Amino acid sequence: MPKVIRARKRAPSTVKPVQLSLLDLIGERRLGAEQTEALRGLLAAKPPSTTWRGLTIMPPGSLLDRAVSLFARTTDFPLELPAFMVLHIMAAYLLDRGVEIEVAGTRLKPDLWSTLLAPSGAGKTKTASVLARVMPVRLFPETTSSARFIEELAAHNRGLWLQDEWGQFLRRIETQSYAEEMREYLLRAHDGKPLARRTAKGSIEVEEPALVILGTTVFETFTSIVSAESMLDGFMQRFGIVIGDADPARPPHRFPIYRVEEASNLAPLQVAWENIAALPLHPLYTVTPEAESEFEAGFRHHFEQHHAIPASFFRRVMWRVFKYAALYHVLLGKADARIDAEDVGWAMRVAVLHLTDARRLLDGYNLSKLEAVIVKAEVFQAKIGHRPSKRELISGVRDIHNNAMAEFVLEVMTPLPGANDNTGLADDKAAA
């Protein structure tokens, strides 16, 4: 019988939590090893221009292309909304039909988890309702408590969970006793481990839990709701980050009436969805050797571009490629069960988008300010001609105030060309 999970009860806090910046967290040694590694990876990922990059992930003529084009013509919504809702609806469609992906002997479910951040009033609810009319899939009801979560999971397993106010939900599971088990349930569901809970009516068991999750929230307030510590831990790294910006080329005054739901506008989407629904699905899609080679080449290319990204962080982001590849295989109308290099090529672009948007989100936690401190430290290093000690950094760089900050900066700063010394490491013990 699956293990019954009981979380320790704690009294709800009456004190409003104060969000600390990354500089505070480093200075107070509040980041664990995994969080520090994640931060190093995000520091190494250089984001591209913030102009919309959606054309790179849309196969021409596909359902994805038609949906985004429709919203571009008829609304001022950020186009990441229809793009990623279509992808997650597709993932839920495959998940509900028992589809799995095999790569190098490992089996994966198309259970995408993502956090989509957009401005307030950007059309998140409207986008979801329009696409649900065209692409009906099993929906997991929005929920707030741990007990309700497992009840709904037993009834709606393998569904699509579209959760609005996602930032508030994340805060609840971190701070409220009635939701404290939710984090453990979600972690087990992500890994496909059985869940069980005893209730007054009996016991509830879910043997193979799986969900597609797309949490939407307001970008401007997310960093004040979810702490930098939470953003860097293993739980949040399971979610791909997507940021949707308002398009200056589509200002609100161009769309007094949203005509996205007019029958003539929805018709091309319905035709594309009917074609997908008519496509035979296979219980197992196998990644071909050519597709594996495409992934390996893309992995190396992007890793070499950001060579300082820790492998574990980078791999977690890029592993989503195979789940997206299965979606693109079906979006492209392919009837066979072999995921090919083309599928992986499209999927690779989406995974890289997640990486760059995660990096941009961390800018809201003073990531850019931290980078400025690192640059100052590198300038100071060049000035003195050797790798500085912690003591030297504290005295020579204004924004480095203590050993913890100096230690972190030394770990991530670029060494001098040809340097191969440990200058300052031994005498740091005296300053500790």
Tens of pLDDT, residue by residue over 341-383, are 999 999 999 998 998 888 788 777 766 677 778 878 888 888 8
Q: What percent of the chain has pLDDT over 90?
A: 49
Least confident among 5-19, 71-85, 155-169, 299-313 = 5-19
pLDDT band at residue 425 under the 50/70/90 scheme: very low
Element housing 128 (H / E): helix 124-134
Higher pLDDT residue, 22 or 195? 195
pTM over 0.85: no
Residue 352: alpha-carbon gap to chain centroid:
11
What average pLDDT score do residues 55-74 get? 95
pLDDT band at 306 (very low <50, low <70, confident <90, very high): low
- Do strands 139-140 and 195-199 pair parallel, antiparallel, or not at all (unpaired)? unpaired
Q: Residue 287 and residue 299: Cα distance in Å, rounded?
A: 15
Assess whether 378 and 245 both reside in one domain.
Answer: no
Does residue 387 share a domain with residue 356? Answer: no
Domain annotation covers residue 59: yes
Q: Do residues 189 and 110 share a domain?
A: yes
Backbone angles phi, psi at 143, to 5 degrees: -145, 160
pLDDT tens across 65-122, in order? Answer: 999 999 999 999 999 999 999 999 999 999 999 999 999 999 999 999 999 999 888 8
In a shared domain, residues 164 and 122: yes
Quote the pLDDT of residue 329: 98
401, 27 in Cβ contact below 8 A?
yes
pLDDT, residue 418, reads 57
Those residues with Cβ within 8 angstroms of residue 421's Cβ, 6 or more apart along the chain or in another chain: 386, 387
**Domain count for the chain:** 2
Is 91 in contact with 112 (CB distance < 8 Å)?
yes
**Distance from C-alpha of 12 to C-alpha of 17, rounded to nearest angstrom:** 12
Residue 158, phi then psi, degrees to nearest 5 = 65, 30
Listed in sequence order, the residues at least 6 apart from 291 whose beta carbon sits closer than 8 Å to its beta carbon are: 325, 339, 340, 341, 343, 344
Same domain, 305 and 418: no
**Listed range (153-157, 228-232, 302-306) with the worst mean pLDDT:** 228-232
CATH assignment of the domain containing 311: 3.40.50.300
